[in-house]
Homo-oligomer: A and B are copies of this chain.
Amino acid sequence: MSPNPRRPGSAVTEDARPLGVIAGAGRLPVVLARVDHDARPLAVVSISNDPQPELRAAADVFRHLSVGKIHEMLGVFHDAGATELVILGAVDKGVLFRPKQLDWLALKILAQAKTRGSQSLFHAIADEFEARGFTVADQRTYLPPLVANAGALTRRRLGRAGRRDAEYALRLAREVARLDIGQTVAVKDGTPVAVEAMEGTDAAIRRAADLAGGGIVVAKATRPDHDFRFDVPTVGLDTLGVLVEVEASALVVEANRTFVLDRDELRERADANGLAILAAT
């Protein structure tokens, strides 16, 4: 057990174990593959309908499985010697309505969940994985370059009225998230314009702009006990596209609790369109 020269305080024998990755759709798993993890091997199970080739290339072990084949999935990690897992990317929840695609372990987890709500399912998954000797890591642990630091993400800044709206929107978004309603709130001139519930962030932003015109301030927040093993709120060029389209004046996210994708392009396009982006604590 000689100390690892590249990561003080951690042991080589631990680092040598592969990190297990359950990879859904989208960019996050690919970013993980690009980040240097002290040459720690990756054991990847892709559950995306369209597995990312870059991820396959970076993986030491790679399998493509249906999201419902959980027993087989854990078998892959067990055989690879991985005990720490990270779950990244979007998952098709439609499988819940196609029970034939669920193996016995998936069915057991589903039966243990109190409801089919995300939080409830996540907890049932984590409990079952832990009972089998696996831990599920906070997604942020392995994607530090994506985590938003406190401060402005753009050169563009807000004036006094805009800052007031931004603080107010973030306060409301935190309350709305705490109530498990949604994560996004839009404010203009001190008035709450739209609150996201089931319709999703983009639809809530578009509604706010329909009601109040340009100049809205949008905040996105999480509840205090948000489980970052299963979901980290993410902003990227898609969200930016909607904000620019509706001529919003600002986006506020929570520092240390949000992933930012394509940070450089995001900053450039936001600045070019008069949109301020800030991460608040």
Q: Which A residues are closer than 8 A to B by beta carbons? A: 115, 117, 172, 175-176, 179-182, 185-186, 190-199, 207-208, 211-212
Contacts and interface: CB of A to CB of B under 8 A. Distances in A.
Contact of A197 (B175, B179, B180, B195): B195
B212 A207 contact: no
A119 to B, nearest CB: 11
Given A198-B211, A199-B211, A207-B199, A182 B192 contact: yes
CB-CB nearest 7 A-B residue pairs: A195-B195, A181-B192, A193-B198, A192-B197, A198-B211, A195-B197, A194-B197
Contact of A212 (B182, B194, B198): B198
19 contacts: A176-B176, A176-B179, A176-B181, A179-B192, A180-B192, A181-B185, A182-B192, A182-B195, A192-B197, A193-B197, A193-B198, A194-B197, A194-B198, A198-B208, A198-B211, A198-B212, A199-B207, A199-B211, A207-B207
Contacts of A195: 176, 181-182, 195-197
A144 B192 CA distance: 32
B190 A117 contact: yes
Nearest to A207: B199
A212 B211 CA distance: 22
A98 to B, nearest CB: 19
Contacts of A196: 195
A238 B47 CA distance: 48
Contacts of A207: 199, 207
A115 B190 contact: yes
A137 B176 CA distance: 34
A197 to B, nearest CB: 5
Contacts of A175: 175, 179
Contacts of A192: 179-182, 197-198
Contacts of A190: 115, 117
A13 to B, nearest CB: 45
A267 B136 CA distance: 53
A180 B212 CA distance: 17
Contacts of A115: 190
Contacts of A179: 172, 175-176, 192
A221 to B, nearest CB: 13
